[in-house]
Amino acid sequence: MTEWLRGLPTSVRLAAMTSSTFLILMLFVGVVAYLQFSAGLRAPIDQSLVALAAAKAKAIEGGDVELDELLSTDLEIDSSSGITSSDLEGQILARDGTVLEATSGLQGRDGLVGGRRFVRVAAGVPVFGDAVIGGKTFRYAGVRVADGSGRVIAVTTPITSLAEAERALLAVFGPIALAGSVLAGLAGAWISRRALAPITQMAAEAEGIGAYDLSQRLPVPARRDEVRRLGSTLNRMLDRLEAAVQRERDFASEASHELRTPLAILRAEVELARAVVYEPVAREGLDSALEEIDRLTAVVEDLLLLARLDVGVALDRRQIVDLGALASTAALRFGTVAAKRKVTVTATGSATVNADPQAIERVLANLFDNALRHTPPGGTVGAIVEPGPQGATVVVRDTGPGVDRQSLASLFDRYTRAASRPGSAGLGLSIVAAVAATHGGSVRARNRPEGGLEITVELASGGG
């Protein structure tokens, strides 16, 4: 139950708390008002009954008087009490509480005064109480007869109209309390939603802040309250995050620039060494070193391209690009490596877009590299280029193990690697997504029913 309540929105919980608090308060007020109302109605009746009982107790001291005759004569009744002599009934009780005498309306009834009340009245303290006789509610008062006999006289009168007034009060107050609780809940929900509206707006704005674009800030309300303090604190946190991410980007860009020249020199020296070495084992080692240099160079180029994309200068050399030709070139480039792994690489189709050729080449290289890395011997990697109504589409398919469903959603996130497709730096597919976005397109991935992964890149003809 507690977990269920915690799962409700804050506005709903505040509304429920407001409604419950109001209902409890109304119940408390209702109980107090009902008791006061009942006491106010009974007070004049109790005073008259005690006066009558005391007078008649004095009249029967030391003797026996007919009770019906006693209650019907010489009555001085307060008119405000609403008591009439015809409504009066009475009992005379013995010291042990048994009925010695009763008027006609109480014949065969147990004593009206009993239990603790009888103990109190026997001690000389007048007592009051309600009794239901024949389906009607009666009010009685008991007084001790001061002749040492221990007798008690009880006088009673019906209070049907009083009981009806009490029931009418409950009938009116109950619905009012429930309606008030509902209104209090609605008011609490409205107030809480108004109070939480700035937080809801901040949450919506925060949802739109990307991991690689931290320039946006949350809206801060003008009033000086806790919500403003929360928004200001979060904005200062975003300032610190933006500064940290910028330092990371600057480092990656600077490091990549610094590494390009040493890698180019290293490759040239390894190629020079390979040209003068004829021993098969040594040449094989140098070939492997060249492959690793190319892989490291690709990572550096990816970091440089990401740095350019982050600052928005990646698309400064747009021109009409033949995607089919670039895909075929990429397939030939990876053909040698694919042949060593006994994997077939193909590229078919043709389409043109207005794009940055270097960025598109990087996209195709990353798609082929990703597919080739996870395709087992005997498999195939194929790229299909197709024109579309608003641009062009490149689809790359492999016959590898695919990607687990949980990793599909984050496959294009930076530095993310699927557990079923290890072995990369986590940059290649994020670059594919970033370049597609800057060209006004999109990228998506799915597992093929027959096995393998299919990545679709859509590019706008105008380049975004």
Q: Is the dihedral of CA 325, 327, 329, 332 positive or negative?
A: negative
**Whether pLDDT at 126 is above 80:** yes
Non-local CB neighbours of 339 within 8 Å, separated by 6+ positions: none
Give CA 99 to chain center in angstroms.
68
Residue of 348, 323, 337 lying closest to 457 (CA atoms):
323
What pLDDT does 343 receive?
A: 92
The arithmetic mean of pLDDT across residues 300-327, rounded, is: 74
- Average per-residue pLDDT for the chain: 81
pLDDT tens across 284-295, in order? 888 888 888 887
pTM above 0.85, yes or no: no
Non-local CB neighbours of 316 within 8 Å, separated by 6+ positions: 356
Rounded to whole angstroms, how far apart are CA atoms 215 and 367?
Answer: 30
Residue 356, by phi and psi: left (phi above 0), alpha (psi -120 to 50) or beta? beta
Beta-strand ranges (E) seen in 99-204 are 99-102, 127-133, 136-144, 152-158
Q: How many CB atoms lie within 10 A of CB 300?
A: 19
What pLDDT does 75 receive?
A: 45
Q: Identity (one letter) of the amino acid at 416?
A: T
**Whether pLDDT at 1 is above 50:** no
Which residue segments constitute the domains of the chain, with CATH numbers given?
Answer: 2-168 (3.30.450.20), 209-313 (1.10.287), 315-460 (3.30.565.10)
pLDDT tens across 344-368, in order? 999 999 999 988 888 888 889 889 9
How would residue 316 be classed by pLDDT, with cut points 50, 70 and 90? Answer: low
Give CA 246 to chain center in angstroms.
34
pLDDT tens across 12-69, in order? 777 788 888 888 888 888 888 888 888 888 888 888 888 888 888 887 775 655 555 5
